[in-house]
Each structure stands twice: as structure tokens, then as C-alpha cells.
């Protein structure tokens, strides 16, 4: 005989997330993805804003944005970021999250647009690492770089965000990156509770497995909010596991082009809709932007 449904307590959220609501972020563009790989990648401020609005309608609460030139090259222009911000805000109330990640771009240039434009959230990388992609079919590296993020730059980015009242999102590609929060907390440049993105599947970082996700989450403070970012087609098993653990999730064309069915997405909204469907299957509803602000401690 089956036990009644109320025999079991509801699954608690792991760490500081909301067990009833999931914050779905949409990573719209990235810095390295191109239309040669996926035709749906937005480049211009208007295209990025349209994708942000569509993702919001599909259930995303946060739009994570890298600026591009009109021909798709990455840019760190304050003017471009300001135009993106204004175009997005004209169309939707989604929480706006700017990336500060870059290779061989001066810190001052990456901090300027955060302080001048003032997004709700800004993401920063929490440690240096090899950063590569290897093609097994071609038996060669698609790219092979060193991602330099010393403590001095992390500290200055955090201080600049604090000054501009921008909420930091700590991007952790491996377990050591989570440990890098400790001296920053002691120095007072980082406060608890903070928000972490657990990025998995980048060559040079932690592999994208559910076991590793559980390990990463165990390292976090109890009041920490977190989301998983799975790179490539390993994204969906990680999204599923994170949702069951009470975590938040990020999807989008920056991280993965393919839907759970294996077909290529035609927009960021397609991927958001798939994540929302998964969330609803485990009894969680997508947070609105206002709810996401409360969950993540974002002002305004």
C-alpha cells in the first residue's frame, strides 16, 4: 500500500536558496560563441534586449550579458554596455547581470562599465585557471588559454562593485575557487550571505558530474545562495540535479546550444522554457525578477 503524499516532509533547499522558487538565469551571448556555431546568438544591443525580454517571458528572472560589437566580437565598451542596459530595461523588468570576465583586458576597463552603468549584478571569476576546449573528433584544442584572476584583481572588482552598490556573483570553476572567498571575507571586501555560480564542464575546471555538484555545494556556507552552470550537453543532468537540491540554474546560448531532446535551440527562450518545465516537474516555480532580487539579496 502506498503511503500518502503528506507522509514525507517536503525536500528542503540545500543552503540559502528558496525551496519553492527557482531563479532561472539566461546567459544570452557569451564572449566566444558565434553565429557560425548557432544562428540564434544575439550581437547588437537591440538583439540582446529582445532575447532578454523573450527569456523573461519564458520564465527567466536574470539575464547574464556579455557585450558584443555589431559583428559579434567581444567588447568592454562602457557606451555599448549602457546601450544594452537601456534597451533591456525599456523592454523588461528582468534582473540585469553583466560579466566582468576577460582575458588580457585591463581591470580598469572591466570595472568602468560596471560602475558607470550600474547593473543589478556583476559576475566575477574567483581564481586563475587553464581555460580550454578540446575537440575529441579533431584531436586538437579549439582554444587553449590561461584565465588570470589574481586576488588583487578579485579584491578590486569586489571593492568597485561595493562602491557602486552592485551585487557580486562569484563564479567558481573549481573547489579552490570556493575556498578563495575566505580571505576576502576576513578582509571585509566580501560579505555574507553571498551568491555563487558553480561552473562545471570547462576544461581546466571541475568536470560536469552530479557527484561533483554535490561536492561543490557541500563546500558553501549554509546561508549561501547558488546556481549551477553546466557547459555543453552535460548541462541538463546538472540542471535536473540542482533543481532537486533546491538550487538555482543558469541556461542559455552562452553555455549550451542544445535542448534536452538534442535539437538545437532557436532562441535563449527555448532553453529557459525547458528549464522551467524541469523545475515544475519537481514542484518548484520560476521566480519573478522581484522574487529573485529578494532571494539573491539584490537591491532595487
Residues 96-109 pLDDT 10s = 999 999 888 899 99
Dihedral over Cα of 68, 89, 119, 284: its sign: negative
Residue 9 is classified by DSSP as P
Say yes or no to pLDDT of 6 above 70.
no
Instruction: Specify the pLDDT at position 134.
Output: 85
Burial class (CB in 10 A: 0-12, 13-18, 19+), 110: buried
C-alpha dihedral (240, 266, 229, 117), degrees to nearest 10: -140
Say yes or no to pLDDT of 10 above 70.
no
Q: Which of 196, 190, 45 is nearest to 113 (CA)?
A: 45
What pLDDT digit, counting tens, does each position of 167-182 carry?
Answer: 999 999 999 999 999 9
Quick check: bond before 193 cis, omega within 30? Answer: yes
Say yes or no to pLDDT of 2 above 50.
no
Q: What average pLDDT does the chain have?
A: 94
- Report residue 92 as a C-alpha cell: 523588461
Helical segments of the chain, H only = 45-58, 78-91, 107-117, 151-164, 175-179, 181-187, 210-218, 235-244, 268-281, 289-296
Instruction: Specify the pLDDT at position 300.
Output: 65
Say yes or no to pLDDT of 133 above 90.
no
166 φ/ψ angles, rounded to the nearest 5 degrees: -105, 130
Higher pLDDT, 13 or 218: 218
Structural contact between residues 126 and 149, judged by C-beta atoms closer than 8 angstroms? yes
Say yes or no to pLDDT of 9 above 80.
no
Q: Could you give the 3-state DSSP secondary structure of residue 93? A: coil
Q: Which of 18, 33, 15 is nearest to 231 (CA)?
A: 33
Structural contact between residues 41 and 238, judged by C-beta atoms closer than 8 angstroms? no
Structural contact between residues 132 and 204, judged by C-beta atoms closer than 8 angstroms? yes
Tell the residue number behind the cell numbers 538545437, with chain if given. 264
Amino acid at each position: 500500500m502506498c503511503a500518502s503524499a503528506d507522509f514525507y516532509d517536503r525536500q528542503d533547499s540545500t543552503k540559502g536558496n528558496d525551496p519553492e522558487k527557482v531563479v532561472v538565469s539566461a546567459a544570452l551571448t557569451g564572449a566566444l560563441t558565434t553565429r557560425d556555431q548557432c544562428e540564434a546568438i544575439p550581437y547588437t544591443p537591440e538583439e540582446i534586449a529582445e532575447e532578454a525580454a523573450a527569456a523573461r517571458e519564458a520564465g527567466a528572472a536574470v539575464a547574464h550579458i556579455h557585450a558584443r560589437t555589431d559583428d559579434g566580437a567581444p567588447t568592454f565598451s562602457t557606451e555599448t554596455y549602457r546601450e544594452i542596459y537601456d534597451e533591456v530595461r525599456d523592454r523588461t523588468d528582468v534582473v540585469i547581470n553583466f560579466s566582468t570576465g576577460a582575458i588580457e583586458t585591463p581591470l580598469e576597463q572591466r570595472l568602468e562599465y560596471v560602475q558607470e552603468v550600474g547593473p543589478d549584478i556583476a559576475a566575477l571569476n574567483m581564481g586563475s585557471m587553464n581555460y580550454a576546449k578540446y575537440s575529441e573528433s579533431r584531436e586538437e584544442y579549439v582554444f587553449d588559454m590561461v584565465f588570470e584572476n589574481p586576488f588583487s584583481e578579485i579584491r578590486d572588482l569586489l571593492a568597485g562593485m561595493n562602491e557602486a552598490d552592485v551585487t557580486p556573483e562569484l563564479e567558481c570553476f573549481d573547489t579552490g575557487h570556493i575556498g578563495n572567498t575566505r580571505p576576502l571575507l576576513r578582509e571585509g571586501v566580501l560579505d555574507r550571505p553571498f551568491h555563487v555560480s558553480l561552473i562545471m564542464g570547462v576544461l581546466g575546471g571541475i568536470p560536469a558530474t552530479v557527484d561533483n555538484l554535490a561536492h561543490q555545494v557541500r563546500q558553501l556556507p549554509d546561508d549561501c545562495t547558488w546556481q549551477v552552470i553546466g557547459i555543453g550537453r552535460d548541462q541538463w543532468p546538472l540542471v535536473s540535479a540542482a533543481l532537486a537540491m533546491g538550487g538555482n540554474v543558469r541556461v542559455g546560448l552562452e553555455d549550451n546550444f542544445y535542448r534536452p531532446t538534442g535539437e538545437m535551440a532557436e532562441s535563449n527562450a527555448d532553453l529557459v522554457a525547458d528549464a522551467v518545465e524541469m523545475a515544475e516537474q519537481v514542484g518548484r516555480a520560476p521566480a519573478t525578477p522581484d522574487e529573485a532580487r529578494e532571494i539573491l539579496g539584490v537591491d532595487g
